[in-house]
Homo-oligomer: A and B are copies of this chain.
Amino acid sequence: MVPAGSFKIALIQMAMSPDPGRNLLTAVARVTEAAKAGAKVVCLPELFRSLYFAQQENADLFDLAEPIPGPSTEALKTVAKQHDVAVIVPVFERRAAGLYHNTAVTLDAGGEVAGMYRKMHIPDDPAYYEKFYFTPGDLGFRATDTKAGRIGTLICWDQWYPEGARLTALQGASVLFYPTAIGWHPKEKATHGASQRDAWRTIQRGHAIANGVYVAAANRVGLERPAGGGDGIEFWGSSFVADPFGVVIAEAPADTETILYADVDLARIEEVRRGWPFLRDRRVDAYQGINARFLEESALDRP
């Protein structure tokens, strides 16, 4: 049998203001608009409540964190209930004093919490000082059932790791959402900008192909300069949806706010996986080394 059914998804590509309250109002308005347009699952960008604060290390910025449930999930729960739409709500999560995560809560249509994911892979690069703020996730990789279908959520830096995509897809997700905050260092844009964005898109299209799933990345836009000065980051937008063959079926511009729509079609997943049946042939007997940090010994042992 071929499973029937499809559902519309929407990615909210936003520019953030310095005012968390205003960002929440914007998010509520955009999710509402997307739901009215027929979206059944809507994804907000990573840490949408604020400017990307991890451009600097400042303990005062933990004030931006909130518990779960908290103001962000409560506000979007109302939208989820009122408009019967599932919403992926990224939250700077305060779990306890001194314990914070970069989290995404999936609210199902109706408003109940369907699932929660804590960012597993935490970056730390100049202007992306996330290891200062976020404890690595301890919930593992997870697919979540919503009324629309089974979906997976990962966050930003996770997108560079085939393991995270694989583990979420193996749980039966039909689409992997990546709320994201990625951009250019203004000084690098001319030289490396095109290849950086292309690499970002390419590896995620690769996850779609390897797993026969849709991949949907929701990024922010706009130049954000940190309080203390500096060049800041030009967030590159370019939110996109790739189909299970890696074909980009929807794509947002680099510099403007957009709501990006696409359909997740279960019959298309079936078709692609029948045509190129990669899941059939995985060598699950031979992947143990994936759990190692590096395999220098096993290489050197060999004749």
Chain A residues at the B interface, C-beta cutoff of 8 Å: 115, 120-123, 125, 136, 140-145, 150, 157, 160-164, 166-167, 170-172, 195, 198-199, 202-203, 205-207, 209-210, 245-247, 275-279, 281-284, 286-296, 298-299, 302-303
Residue in B166, B172, B277, B296 whose beta carbon sits within 8 Å of that of A162 in the complex: B166
Q: Across the A-B interface, give the 3 residue pairs with the lowest CB-CB distance, nearest first.
A: A206-B206, A162-B162, A171-B299
Q: B295 contacts A171, CB within 8 Å?
A: yes
Known: A160-B209, A160-B278, A287-B290. 4 other contacts (CB 8 A): A171-B296, A203-B246, A206-B207, A284-B292
- How far is A303 from B293 in the complex, measured between Cα atoms in Å? 31
- Per assembly, the copies of the chain total 2
Smallest CB separation, A247 vs chain B (Å): 6
Q: A161-B282, A290-B287, A296-B172 are in contact. Are A202 and B209 (CB under 8 A)?
A: yes
**Chain A to chain B contacts (Cβ below 8 Å), 8 pairs:** A115-B302, A125-B275, A150-B299, A163-B166, A163-B282, A195-B247, A202-B205, A284-B291
Smallest CB separation, A62 vs chain B (Å): 22
Instruction: Please classify the interface of chain A as helix (H, G, I), strand (E, B), loop, or mixed, using the class held by over half of its residues.
Output: mixed
Q: B136 contacts A283, CB within 8 Å?
A: yes
Q: A281 contacts B171, CB within 8 Å?
A: no
- How far is A279 from B123 in the complex, measured between Cα atoms in Å? 11
Which of A115, A287, A294 has most chain B Cβ within 10 Å?
Answer: A287
Using CB atoms, name the residue of chain B closest to A297: B171
Q: A288-B291, A294-B170 are in contact. Are A283 and B202 (CB under 8 A)?
A: no
Smallest CB separation, A78 vs chain B (Å): 22
